[in-house]
């Protein structure tokens, strides 16, 4: 059995994400790994999110981080609106990814009768999923006279509105067909927010493994995050390497992985990562 080895001058780069509690509402949850849970991860934060059938992550936006996502299980529908008022709605299957730039408001809905599970990546390690701007939080803390004036409705129209953030809203399972906008035609943004990462052939096949890689040359809107799916065979090794211009955030989808980080001047640390764990290697 391989045990964790380290020179104690290097900090831990492992966090057991799926074993953490996070925020649980009904059968939906969000679990995060930020600098609070994993202090070394200053450049990237991550979230594991599960949404039950009929539930949605309500309309919200991130002022301090872009969002990159990879769908693990189930189906999910996203609707995103950019600052120009252009909107896009897409349906995602396992292996698909999305990217929402900072400030792009969006909704995430579970499709069908099975829950959906996906991983979210944010390009700011200090960002917290539980500190986002949510529409119910904003409306719930705005006086009714202002809401009535803003929407051109009587104050009584807001009597049943939530007073606190809903976060996960629950209701009927969405229809299979993407519905039309409530008002006016849908104007698509210049760049799509969806990419079918695992629907295509691997980026490269090596002795001992396969790699799918998506960066902004293939997915133009994803300007701050490059995503890689690495499928290693038993006993295979990702050779010695380093990243001079980017941090690396790892999520173990399945299997077990031994990771060694070298920090120069004889400093190193080896940790064992298992399914549901997160690893983080700083730029260098």
Q: pLDDT at residue 229 above 90?
A: yes
CATH 2.60.120.10 in the chain, residue ranges = 20-195, 204-281
CATH number of 204-281: 2.60.120.10
Structure confidence at residue 4 (pLDDT): 56
Token couple for 249: 């955030």
Which residues lie across from 14 on neighbouring strands?
A: 279
Structure confidence at residue 6 (pLDDT): 57
Spatial neighbors of 12 by CB under 8 A, at least 6 apart, are: 38, 40, 269, 271
CA distance 77 to 179: 11
Token couple for 40: 């070394």
Structure confidence at residue 5 (pLDDT): 62
Token couple for 201: 């052939």
Which residues lie across from 170 on neighbouring strands?
A: 55
Mean pLDDT calculated for residue range 60-75: 97
pLDDT grade for 1, boundaries at 50, 70 and 90: very low
Q: Are strands 28-33 and 23-25 parallel, antiparallel or unpaired?
A: antiparallel
- 215, 256 in Cβ contact below 8 A? no
* Closest to 164 (Cα-Cα) out of 148, 133, 141: 141
Spatial neighbors of 2 by CB under 8 A, at least 6 apart, are: 258, 270, 272
- pTM, two decimals, is 0.94
Q: What is the mean pLDDT of the chain?
A: 95
Which pLDDT tens digit goes with each residue over 93-133?
Answer: 999 999 999 999 999 999 999 999 999 999 999 999 999 99
Size of the chain, expressed as the number of residues it contains: 284
Q: Which residues are catalytic?
A: 57, 60, 62, 67, 106, 129
Token couple for 139: 């409306």
Class of the domain covering 20-195: mainly beta
Token couple for 242: 């380093």
């Amino acid at each position: 059995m391989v045990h964790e080895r380290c020179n104690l001058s290097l900090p831990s780069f492992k966090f057991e994400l799926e074993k953490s509690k996070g925020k649980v509402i009904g059968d939906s949850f969000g679990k995060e790994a930020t600098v609070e849970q994993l202090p070394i991860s200053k450049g990237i934060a991550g979230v594991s999110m599960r949404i039950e059938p009929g539930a949605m992550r309500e309309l919200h936006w991130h002022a301090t981080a872009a969002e990159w996502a990879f769908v693990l299980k189930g189906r999910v529908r996203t609707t995103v609106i950019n600052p120009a008022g252009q909107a896009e709605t897409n349906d995602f299957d396992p292996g698909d990814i999305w990217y929402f730039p900072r400030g792009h408001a969006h909704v995430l809905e579970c499709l069908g009768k099975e829950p959906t599970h996906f991983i979210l990546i944010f390009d700011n390690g200090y960002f917290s999923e539980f500190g986002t701007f949510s529409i119910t939080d904003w409306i719930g803390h705005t006086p009714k006279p202002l809401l009535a004036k803003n929407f051109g409705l009587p104050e009584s129209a807001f009597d049943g509105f939530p007073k606190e953030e809903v976060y996960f809203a629950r209701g009927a399972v969405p229809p299979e067909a993407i519905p039309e906008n409530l008002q006016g035609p849908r104007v698509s943004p210049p760049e799509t927010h969806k990419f079918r990462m695992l629907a295509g052939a691997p980026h490269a096949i090596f002795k001992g493994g396969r790699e799918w890689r998506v960066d902004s040359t293939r997915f133009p809107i994803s300007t701050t995050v490059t995503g890689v799916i690495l499928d290693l065979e038993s006993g295979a090794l990702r050779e010695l390497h380093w990243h001079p211009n980017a941090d690396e955030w790892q999520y173990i989808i399945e299997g077990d992985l031994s990771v060694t980080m070298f920090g120069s001047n004889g400093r190193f640390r080896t940790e064992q990562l298992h399914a549901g764990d997160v690893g983080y290697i700083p730029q260098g």
